[in-house]
Structure 1
Amino acid sequence: MSAPKQKLSALVITYNEIGYIERCIDSVSFADEIVVVDSYSTDGTYEYLLSHPRVRVIQNPFENFTAQKSFALKQASHDWILFLDADEVVTKSLQKEIINTINDSKACEAYWFYRTFMFKNEKLRFSGWQTDKNHRLFRKSKVRFTDKKLVHETLEVDGSSCILKEKLTHYCYKSYEDYKSKMLCYGRLKAKEAFYKEKHFNYLAMFFKPAWKFFHHFFLRLGFLDGKKGVIVCYLNALGVLERYRELKKLEKKNELAYYLVMP
């Protein structure tokens, strides 16, 4: 007698993703359930999800990426989880690999996915992203999102991690303003991480680290081979690093002011 088919929960977190979330949802229609946690979108994303017959949508205030993903994970009914960002798409070949993987008796507890990055509708082949990978498929009972990171959340796995062969498609760059906004948001969250860890602002790091980020991604990670796309992406990634130090400086000043205000 063959073992019963493993059930899969597809999870997504969203905020103002209309125009992209539709493609994401379509690509996970093979899952047994689709749960989306929305951060009170204002562009029609929530209304689209609410009307979708396959989607269970829940609105939850956004605190940070780790908290939001941890909340979403609690909503899943099944042990096997496929966790995507709203601008990610599962290809047909990856769908087959996922189904075969979770029904394999020798499956690992979690799986890394490499990603194909898209600049609008063109592939971004270099610019530091060519070796990027993330945990996207895992057993709910064997993982947790560490609370040590607020952005670029890290999965702690009780067991082994393997890598799937097929790549996930990531529409990372929609427009200049969208990507810039994303990088600035990441920078501010990174600043909060650093502040909570009692790391201190210094001017040398604020000037050196963004310059190194651009140099590393554009020259050492071959961003120049992506042409104009590489220039834009590497510049905005460096801008995100600069924002981290700007925000850290602001947080330290606020903390100092609060300290002096409560002094007797």
Structure 2
Amino acid sequence: MTPDPALRTAVSCTIITKNEADRIERCLESVRGLVSEIIVVDSGSTDETLAICRAFGATCFHRDWEGYGQQKRFAESKASHDWILNLDADEWLTQATRAELSRLLTAPIPQAIHGFEFKITQVYPGDERPRPFADYHNYIRLYDRTRCRFPDSAVFDEIKLPGAHKGRIKAPIFHQSIRSIAHLVEKNIAYYKLQTGEIKKKSPLTLVRIGFEPLSVFFKYYFMKMHVTGGVYGFIVAITIAMLRTYRLAILYFPKERTR
């Protein structure tokens, strides 16, 4: 990778993958010229993911899947530079985000800042931009690995920093987390099974929550997270997530379901 020579801070981009051939190229292209290297940690792709990454100039490693945090920490350890930009294969930098990062990296980063938070905004399958008032999460994605790292957790893969050590990138990262409703179901069931491996204790209220979960989660996603602006597709997404969250409680309450 050849970054813009005007950049003062060298950055390694880390990405974890498995069968991402249909969307990894958009992610790779979005960091072109901003990073000095791309580190890809793959957990067993059987499609063209690795061929695409290598053709782009990425350095690829294989690591059997243990969990999100473990994969990302391994990627950190393979990076040549301490400042790391972590992206998922289904994410990409917008042009506004690229411009903001370029301005940031052409000047020295203040010593007090250990990482930068981004607004990760959801994009529906087949769309190029988020729907109006799309839901989002704020995550640290550009950080100094000598000062903070991803946790050693299968599911809790979020870097935490106090406000005094955290910067902010105003422009968003776009995130197309699902390919279809079927993929939404498959992805969440796999995640919940990982999650229940770390959350061993069930609450006495779990069974009570199962009764209320569908309606409360639907209301949260359809109205509060604004899937109402997504039309019929948004309605289907919200009701599917409500059923999936109920399923999560069920496998907490009935542990034998976790291994099925």
Say yes or no: does 1:234 pair with 2:235: no
* Cα contact 1:192–1:248 (8 A) shared by 2: no
State the partner residue of 1:225: 229
* Cα contact 2:13–2:38 (8 A) shared by 1: yes
Q: The residue matched to 1:173 in structure 2 has which SS?
A: coil
State the partner residue of 1:165: 170
* Residue correspondence of structure 1 range 127-166 to structure 2 within 5 A: 129-130=135-136, 132-147=137-152, 149-157=153-161, 160-166=165-171
Q: Which amino acid aligns with 1:58?
A: F
State the partner residue of 2:17: 14
Counterpart pick for 1:59 among 57, 62, 65: 62
Output the CA distance in 1 between the equivalents of 2:247 and 2:226: 24
* Deviations 1:148-206 (CA, angstroms, capped at 9, x unpaired): x53251213376112211111112232121222112222222222321xx334632122
* Deviations 1:217-246 (CA, angstroms, capped at 9, x unpaired): 112333222211211221232233223223
Output the CA distance in 2 between the equivalents of 1:145 and 1:205: 31
RMSD: 2.5
Say yes or no: does 1:70 pair with 2:68: no
Report the more deviating stretch, 85-94 or 220-229.
220-229
State the partner residue of 1:124: 131
State the partner residue of 2:119: 114
State the partner residue of 2:3: none
Structure 1: unaligned runs, 5 residues or longer: 256-264
Output the CA distance in 2 between the equivalents of 1:94 and 1:135: 14
Output the CA distance in 2 between the equivalents of 1:48 and 1:76: 20
Report the more deviating stretch, 77-86 or 87-96.
87-96
Output the CA distance in 1 between the equivalents of 2:93 and 2:123: 13
* Cα contact 2:26–2:92 (8 A) shared by 1: yes
Structure 2: unaligned runs, 5 residues or longer: 1-5
* Cα contact 2:117–2:140 (8 A) shared by 1: yes
Output the CA distance in 2 between the equivalents of 1:33 and 1:166: 22
Output the CA distance in 2 between the equivalents of 1:254 and 1:168: 33
Q: Which amino acid aligns with 1:163?
A: R
Distance 1:239 1:124, change over 3 A: farther
Q: How far is the alpha carbon of 1:66 from its aligned partner?
A: 1.1
Q: How far is the alpha carbon of 1:115 from its aligned partner?
A: 2.5
Output the CA distance in 1 between the equivalents of 2:240 and 2:151: 27
Q: How far is the alpha carbon of 1:4 from its aligned partner?
A: 7.9
Output the CA distance in 1 between the equivalents of 2:87 and 2:64: 19
* Cα contact 1:36–1:55 (8 A) shared by 2: yes
Output the CA distance in 2 between the equivalents of 1:181 and 1:87: 16
Distance 1:84 1:8, change over 3 A: same
* Cα contact 2:23–2:89 (8 A) shared by 1: yes
Q: How far is the alpha carbon of 1:139 from its aligned partner?
A: 0.9
Distance 1:234 1:152, change over 3 A: farther
Q: How far is the alpha carbon of 1:254 from its aligned partner?
A: 8.5
Q: Which amino acid aligns with 2:198?
A: E
Output the CA distance in 2 between the equivalents of 1:138 and 1:243: 35
Distance 1:251 1:215, change over 3 A: same
Q: The residue matched to 1:192 in structure 2 has which SS?
A: helix
Counterpart pick for 1:186 among 188, 191, 194: 191
* Cα contact 1:126–1:226 (8 A) shared by 2: no
The percentage of counterpart residues that share the same residue type is 28
Q: Which amino acid aligns with 2:131?
A: L
